[in-house]
C-alpha cells in the first residue's frame, strides 16, 4: 500500500514512516520542516519506498502532488507546542485550520481515506477522571475554555466529521494524549525531553506552575501501530478515538523520576506560568484518558510504562 504522511518528518510522523516502511508499504512524507527535521528520517533516508516532499500543507497544488497514488493519508502536520503557538498564534491557526481543510479537500477529490490527528486539548479545562470521547461536549461554556491550538483542532474534527457524513469521505479522528519517545524535541515546550535535557546537562529542572498538575504519557511505539490499524480498518471510521496511557504522574514526580533515571544531581525549580510562557496561559491541572472505546474496537492497550519512556528518551541523547 502507499501512504501519504503529512508532518512525516516530525516526532510521531517519523516513527510512523519507519513503521510503515518496515511493513513493506511505500510512504510519501510531506513536511515543511518547521518543527520537524530530515534528521528524524535518517534511518530510512535511502529506503526505496520513501519519497520526501518539502512543502506546505496549506498549498493545494503541493498536497495534490503528494497524494498522487496514495491509498490512505495520515494527517499529522500541525503547528504544535505551547511555545510555537504562543509565539505565532495566527500563523498556527492558519496551518491547523487551512492545512487540515486542504488535506481533506484533496483526499476527497482523490477518494482516499484519511486519519486526522487531533488532541486531548479539545477537552479544554475538563479535569474529570477518565475522559471519554463524549466529554468534549458536557461543560457549560460553548468554547470549553479552549486555547487557540485546542479550538483549531476541535474545528478540524468538525471538518473531518462533516467531510465524512456529508461528502462521503472515509475519515477517522484520533485524540492523542501526551505522546512521548525518542526524537521529540524539548524546544517547543514538550516536558519530558526538556526535563531529560536539563537533567543530563546538570541544569536546574524547571517545573512550570506548582508541579501538582498531572499528565499521562504514552510511548510513541504504542501509538503508531494503533494509527495504522485505525486508518487501514475502514469499519473503524466515522468516529473519534482517544489514544493515550492511563498512568498518571504529577509533573513534580516526573521531574524526580527523570533526575533519578539520569543519575543527575539537578535540583527542581518552580517557575510561575506567567514567567514560563510570558502570558496568562495556564496548563491544564489534569488530563486522564479513558481509552475503553479504542480497546473494545481494536484491542488498544499501551504496553510501555513511564519508566520505559524515560529510559528510551535518556538513551537516545
Ligand atoms: P511535530 O512538531 O514533531 O510534528 C508536526 C510536523 O508537522 C513537523 O514535522 C512540522 O515540520 C510539520 N508541519 C508543521 N506545519 C506544517 C505545514 N504548514 N506544512 C507541512 N508540514 C508542517 O509534533 P508531533 O508531536 O509529532 O505531532 C504530530 C501530530 O500529533 C500533530 O497534529 C499534533 O497536533 C498531534 N498531537 C501530538 C501530541 C503529542 O503528545 N506529541 C499530542 C496531541 C496531538
Q: What is the pLDDT of residue 135?
A: 76
For ligand 1, what atom is nearest to the CA of residue 176? 43
Q: What is the pLDDT of residues 254-296, one digit of tens each?
A: 999 999 999 999 999 999 999 988 877 778 888 899 999 999 9
Q: Going from the N-terminus, what domains does the chain have, and what CATH number goes with each?
A: 2-179+219-245+288-302 (3.40.50.720)
Q: Which residues are catalytic?
A: 149
Do the bridges between strand 248-250 and strand 214-216 make them parallel or antiparallel, or are there none, so unpaired?
Answer: antiparallel
267 alpha carbon to ligand 1 midpoint, in Å? 31
122 to each of 13, 142, 174, 266, how far by Cα in Å? 21, 12, 11, 34
- Cβ of 32 below 6 Å from ligand 1: yes
Q: Is 103 in the pocket of ligand 1 (CB under 6 A)?
A: no
Tell me the DSSP string of 39-50.
Answer: GGGGGGTT-TTE
- Residue-level pLDDT at 142: 53
Confidence (pLDDT) at 124: 84
Does ligand 1 come within 6 angstroms of the Cβ of 17? Answer: no
| Locus of grid cell 481494536 | 298
* Ligand 1 atom closest to the CA of 95, numbered from 1: 18
**Residue 78 CA, ligand 1 centroid: distance in Å:** 4
Residues of the chain with pLDDT under 70: 137-144
- Cα(211)–Cα(205) distance, integer angstroms: 11
Question: Cα angle vertex 287, ends 77, 159, to 5°?
Answer: 40
* Structure confidence at residue 138 (pLDDT): 47
Mark out the alpha helices in 201-270 (DSSP H runs).
220-232, 251-262
**Cβ(99) – ligand 1 distance below 6 Å:** yes
CA of 253 to the centre of ligand 1 (A): 27
Q: Would you say the CB of residue 8 lies under 6 angstroms from ligand 1? A: no
Which three-class secondary structure string do you get for 262-302? Answer: HCCCCCEEEECHHHHHCCCCCCCCCCCECCHHHHHHHCCCC
Task: From the CA of 58, give the closest atom in ligand 1.
Answer: 18
Nearest protein CA to atom 44 of ligand 1, as residue: 119
The pLDDT score that the predictor gives to residue 130 is: 83
φ, ψ of residue 208 to 5 degrees: the values are -80, 140
Nearest atom (ligand 1) to Cα of 149: 34
What does the alpha-carbon distance between residue 317 and residue 186 come to, in Å, rounded to a whole number? 12
Say whether the ipTM exceeds 0.95. Answer: yes
Of 117, 114, 119, nearest to 3 (Cα)? Answer: 114
- Residue nearest (by alpha carbon) to ligand 1 atom 17: 56
Q: Are 169 and 104 in contact (CB under 8 A)?
A: yes
Amino acid at each position: 500500500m502507499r501512504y501519504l504522511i503529512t508532518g512525516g518528518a516530525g516526532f510521531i510522523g517519523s516513527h510512523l514512516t519507519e513503521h510503515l516502511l518496515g511493513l513493506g508499504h511505500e510512504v510519501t512524507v510531506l513536511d515543511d520542516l518547521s518543527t520537524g527535521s530530515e534528521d528524524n528520517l535518517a534511518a530510512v533516508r535511502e529506503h526505496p519506498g520513501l519519497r520526501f516532499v518539502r512543502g506546505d500543507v496549506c498549498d493545494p497544488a503541493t498536497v495534490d502532488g503528494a497524494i498522487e497514488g496514495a491509498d490512505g493519508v495520515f494527517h499529522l502536520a500541525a503547528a504544535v507546542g505551547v511555545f510555537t503557538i504562543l509565539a505565532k498564534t495566527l500563523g498556527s491557526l492558519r496551518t491547523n485550520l487551512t492545512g487540515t481543510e486542504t488535506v481533506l479537500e484533496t483526499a476527497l477529490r482523490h477518494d482516499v481515506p484519511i486519519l486526522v490527528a487531533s488532541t486531548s486539548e479539545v477537552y479544554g479545562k475538563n479535569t474529570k477522571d477518565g475522559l471519554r470521547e463524549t466529554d468534549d461536549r458536557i461543560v457549560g461554556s460553548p468554547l470549553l475554555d479552549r486555547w487557540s491550538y485546542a479550538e483549531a483542532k476541535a474545528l478540524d474534527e468538525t471538518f473531518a466529521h462533516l467531510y465524512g457524513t456529508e461528502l462521503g469521505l472515509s475519515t477517522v479522528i484520533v485524540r492523542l494524549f501526551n505522546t512521548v519517545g525518542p526524537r521529540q524535541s524539548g524546544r517547543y515546550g514538550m516536558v519530558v525531553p526538556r526535563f531529560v535535557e536539563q537533567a543530563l546537562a546538570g541544569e536546574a529542572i524547571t517545573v512550570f506552575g506548582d508541579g501538582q498538575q498531572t499528565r499521562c504519557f504514552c510511548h510513541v511505539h504504542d501509538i503508531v501501530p494503533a494509527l495504522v490499524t485505525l486508518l487501514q480498518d475502514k469499519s473503524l471510521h466515522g468516529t473519534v478515538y482517544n489514544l493515550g496511557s492511563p498512568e498518571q504522574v504529577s509533573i513534580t514526580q516526573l521531574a524526580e523520576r527523570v533526575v533519578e533515571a539520569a543519575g543527575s544531581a539537578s535540583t527542581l525549580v518552580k517557575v510561575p506560568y506567567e514567567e514560563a510562557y510570558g502570558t496568562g496561559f495556564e496548563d491544564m491541572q489534569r488530563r486522564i484518558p479513558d481509552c475503553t472505546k479504542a480497546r473494545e474496537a481494536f484491542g488498544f492497550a499501551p504496553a510501555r510504562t513511564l519508566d520505559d519512556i524515560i529510559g528510551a528518551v535518556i538513551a537516545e541523547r
